[in-house]
Chains A and B, each alone.
Chain A
């Protein structure tokens, strides 16, 4: 595998379910990001991790819980979601947090909340 991978690619869940999204980067980067992409809206930055420490949390509801066990893996744990949480969730990584470097994106997980 190369670049940034995300699993699953598609997820359908009920409002009472608990599920997790997984992201893995194979680039040796130190920073990882979760974004939410909704139709016709700009990408919304949700969380940023640098060297496994959370450095950004942009007022995201507590039903979204990130986890970064090491610099290569990032998870987004989901519970009691709402239908408006349906979106494409993108993971990205960059060499460092706080520089002008490019962010590399995964293909995303298309989440549908029923």
Chain B
């Protein structure tokens, strides 16, 4: 079985400051990982994904994440946030052994303040 823990339910940050949203996973097999973003009244949109290869993954809107197998983490970072980044962010884990069945974290609300 797999599980995902997003350690912060809400992260407030000022505009132009850096941010890190934390994600830890648990799995007994090799995994692939996703970060999705959900803006108000919208569905989930893919930010970035890690399947294999380079552990530093770059996504849309200036976000990046680093896969750390020893720490079973996949934290999301952005060096300078904008008001428009205010949204809820979901980490998800999947594994070929479990089909394409993604397990999602509970989400982290990023609130960017001016």
Contacts and interface: CB of A to CB of B under 8 A. Distances in A.
B45 A102 contact: no
A101 B49 CA distance: 10
Contacts of B96: 98-100
A56 interface: yes
Interface string B87-101: 000100010100111
A56 B9 contact: no
A60 to B, nearest CB: 14
A97 interface: yes
Interface stretch (A11-19, A38-46, A79-87): A38-46
B4 interface: yes
Nearest to A106: B43
B94 to A, nearest CB: 7
Interface in B45-75: 45-46, 49, 51
